[in-house]
Amino acid sequence: MKTLIAAYSGVLRGERRAEAAGSENKNGGSALSREGSGRWGTGSSILSALQDIFSVTWLNRSKVEKQLQVISVLQWVLSFLVLGIACSVILMYTFCTDCWLIAVLYFTWLAFDWNTPKKGGRRSQWVRNWAVWRYFRDYFPIQLVKTHNLLTTRNYIFGYHPHGIMGLGAFCNFSTEATEVSKKFPGIRPYLATLAGNFRMPVLREYLMSGGICPVNRDTIDYLLSKNGSGNAIIIVVGGAAESLSSMPGKNAVTLRNRKGFVKLALRHGADLVPTYSFGENEVYKQVIFEEGSWGRWVQKKFQKYIGFAPCIFHGRGLFSSDTWGLVPYSKPITTVVGEPITIPKLEHPTQKDIDLYHAMYMEALVKLFDNHKTKFGLPETEVLEVN
pLDDT value of position 201: 92
| Average pLDDT for 330-350 | 96
175, part of any domain: yes
- What b-and-e string marks burial along 286-302, b requiring 16 or more CB atoms within 10 Å of the CB? bbeebeeeeeeeeebbe
Q: If pLDDT is split at 50, 70 and 90, which confidence band does 203 have?
A: very high
**Ramachandran sector of residue 176 (left: φ over 0; alpha: ψ -120 to 50; beta: rest):** beta
> Residue 206 above 90 pLDDT?
yes
Higher pLDDT, 52 or 312: 312
The rounded distance, in Å, linking the Cα atoms of 222 and 232 is 12
> Residue 79 above 50 pLDDT?
yes
Give the side-chain half-sphere CA count within 13 A for 12: 6
Q: If pLDDT is split at 50, 70 and 90, which confidence band does 58 have?
A: low
pLDDT value of position 26: 44
339, part of any domain: yes
pLDDT value of position 73: 96
| Average pLDDT for 315-343 | 93
Residue 251, domain extent: 61-387
Of the chain, the percentage scoring pLDDT greater than 90 comes to 68
| Average pLDDT for 332-347 | 97
343, part of any domain: yes
Cβ distance 207 to 83 under 8 Å?
yes
Residue 328 DSSP one-character state: B
Residue 143: beta bridge partners? 335
The rounded distance, in Å, linking the Cα atoms of 265 and 261 is 6
Higher pLDDT, 240 or 359: 359
Q: For residue 69, give the nearest of 358, 274, 329 by alpha carbon.
A: 329
Of the chain, the percentage scoring pLDDT greater than 70 comes to 85
> Residue 343 above 70 pLDDT?
yes
pLDDT value of position 152: 95
| Average pLDDT for 47-62 | 59
Per DSSP, the three-state class of 155 is: coil
> Residue 225 above 60 pLDDT?
yes
**Ramachandran sector of residue 143 (left: φ over 0; alpha: ψ -120 to 50; beta: rest):** beta
The rounded distance, in Å, linking the Cα atoms of 79 and 127 is 15
| CA 43 to each of CA 48, 163, 328: distance values in angstroms, whole numbers, following the listed order | 9, 60, 47
Sign, Cα dihedral of 338, 339, 341, 342: negative
pLDDT value of position 319: 85
pLDDT value of position 34: 46
pLDDT value of position 289: 84
> Residue 307 above 90 pLDDT?
no
| Average pLDDT for 159-171 | 95
237, part of any domain: yes
**Strand ordering across the sheet containing 325-326:** 286-287, 314-317, 325-326
336, part of any domain: yes
| Average pLDDT for 133-155 | 97
| Average pLDDT for 246-259 | 93
| CA 306 to each of CA 170, 193, 301, 302, 303: distance values in angstroms, whole numbers, following the listed order | 25, 19, 9, 6, 5
When divided into structural domains, the chain yields a total of 1
Q: For residue 181, give the nearest of 209, 145, 206, 151 by alpha carbon.
A: 145
Q: Are strands 325-326 and 314-317 parallel, antiparallel or unpaired?
A: antiparallel
pLDDT tens for residues 87-137?
Answer: 999 999 998 999 999 999 999 999 999 999 999 999 999 999 999 999 999
- CA 10-14-15 angle, to 5 degrees, is 120
pLDDT value of position 55: 55
| Average pLDDT for 221-247 | 92
pLDDT value of position 15: 44
- What b-and-e string marks burial along 249-273, b requiring 16 or more CB atoms within 10 Å of the CB? eeebbbbbeebbebbbbbbbbbbbb
Instruction: For the chain, give the mean pLDDT.
Output: 86
Q: If pLDDT is split at 50, 70 and 90, which confidence band does 297 have?
A: confident
352-373 and 261-269 helices cross at what angle (nearest 10)?
110
> Residue 259 above 80 pLDDT?
yes
The rounded distance, in Å, linking the Cα atoms of 376 and 387 is 21
What are the φ and ψ backbone dihedral angles of 273, each rounded to 5 degrees?
A: -95, 135
> Residue 366 above 50 pLDDT?
yes
DSSP readout, 189-208? EEEEEE-GGGGGSTTHHHHH
73, part of any domain: yes
In the chain, the DSSP E strands lie at: 142-146, 156-161, 189-194, 213-215, 232-237, 253-254, 272-279, 286-287, 314-317, 325-326, 334-338, 386-387
Q: For residue 311, give the nearest of 388, 216, 215, 244 by alpha carbon.
A: 244
> Residue 72 above 80 pLDDT?
yes
194, part of any domain: yes
Query: Cα-atom radius of gyration of the chain, to the nearest Å?
Result: 29
286, part of any domain: yes
> Residue 381 above 70 pLDDT?
yes
| Window from 54-63, 80-89, 335-344 with minimum mean pLDDT | 54-63
